[in-house]
Amino acid sequence: MSEPENRPPTEPATSERRPHPLEQRPQPRPEVQPRQQINLRIPSVIPRATYILIAINVAVFLLRATSSDLDERIFLWGANHGADVVRGEYYRLFTSMFLHASIFNARGTYAFPNALHLIFNMYILYGVGMSLERLFGHARFLIIYLLGGLGGSVLSMLFGGLDSYSVGASGAVFAILGAEFVYLYHHRRLMGARGRARRNSLISFAVINLIFGLASSLPGSQMRIDNWAHLGGLIGGMSLSWFISPILNLRAHPDHPGEILGEDINPLSKSYWVVSIYATVLVVLVFVGVYLARG
């Protein structure tokens, strides 16, 4: 007879049950250090020039609104009319920047929707000028507004037709819009996503206005938008701002520990030559246009 083999007792098979995710204890999250806020101090001024420009435009508009006859006389005296500029009335290139669409209609009665031309321009001048003048200072802001606006007037005189009348601060307004775009581009790393979004909105605004301007030139359109003034102001403002815009250099504030000082390393005194060249180019363009028109 064979003897039974001595085998080790077999252990019952056990299967470990994996705990359900909801049964697991939550693991403690690593502590997130709060971001430290750092104050950035940038030299700024009170935007007095913006207030003055708005006051002048509104005052001229209200003065014209007192009488349809006075309104027409001021318009005919100061509007940018190419034929009169060719005859030597160069002041029109400047005065037209402070005139807007008449509040009177052809019958000499009030047409209040016409005031939207002034309201729209002053709204942009206030919205952009308030912040831009604080950063640029009075002198740089006025240079861009006035010389950029003159650039719009010159381009309108050259290409808008000698028989057309053009008025409005649109060229100057587009100049400060272009200046803001250049300032944001110069400081694109500092401004980050916020500055990029603002630059995109400025591009969209310019494109939409140019499209409306092109639509106004179609037959049967009731609108009359001077695209040449817009384009000239935009080019002028961007060109000037490229050279005279403040350039901020960040460093630790010497008087306020823990704060950053944005120091302008591009003062206007370094760029007077650019302003002189720009003004000279405008004068040359005017006389070339006059010469060609008389010839």
Residue by residue, what is the 3-state secondary structure of the chain? CCCCCCCCCCCCCCCCCCCCHHHCCCCCCCCCCCCCCCCEECCCCCCHHHHHHHHHHHHHHHHHCCCHHHHHHHHHHHCEEHHHHHCCCCCHHHHHHHCCCCCECCCCCECHHHHHHHHHHHHHHHHHHHHHHHHHHHHHHHHHHHHHHHHHHHHHHHHCCCCCEECCCHHHHHHHHHHHHHHHHHCHHHHHHHHHHHHHHHHHHHHHHHHHHHHHCCCCCCCCCCHHHHHHHHHHHHHHHHHHCCCEEEEECCCCCCCEEEEECCCHHHCHHHHHHHHHHHHHHHHHHHHHHHC
Question: Tell me, what's the pLDDT at 2?
Answer: 47
114 lies in some domain: yes
Question: Tell me, what's the pLDDT at 253?
Answer: 76
35 lies in some domain: no
Tokens, residue 251: 């460093």
Question: Tell me, what's the pLDDT at 41?
Answer: 79
Question: Tell me, what's the pLDDT at 9?
Answer: 53
Active-site hit among 170, 239, 241, 245: 170
pTM of the model: 0.84
100 flagged as catalytic: no
36 lies in some domain: no
67 lies in some domain: yes
Count of positions (residues) in the chain = 295
Tens of pLDDT along the chain (295 residues) come to 445 555 555 555 555 666 554 455 656 666 655 555 667 778 899 999 999 999 999 999 999 999 999 999 999 999 999 999 999 999 999 999 999 999 999 898 999 988 999 999 999 999 999 999 999 999 999 999 999 999 999 999 999 989 999 999 999 999 999 999 999 999 999 888 988 998 998 888 888 877 877 766 666 545 578 899 999 999 999 999 999 999 998 888 777 777 788 889 999 999 999 999 999 999 999 999 999 999 8
| Domains identified in the chain, total number | 1
117 lies in some domain: yes
259 lies in some domain: yes
Q: Where in the sequence is the domain holding 256, given as residue range(s)?
A: 46-294
Query: Which among 122, 242, 105, 100 is positioned nearest to 182, based on CA atoms?
Result: 242
Report the distance separating Cα 89 and Cα 77, nearest Å.
10
Active-site hit among 100, 117, 230, 241: 230
230 flagged as catalytic: yes
CATH number at residue 284: 1.20.1540.10
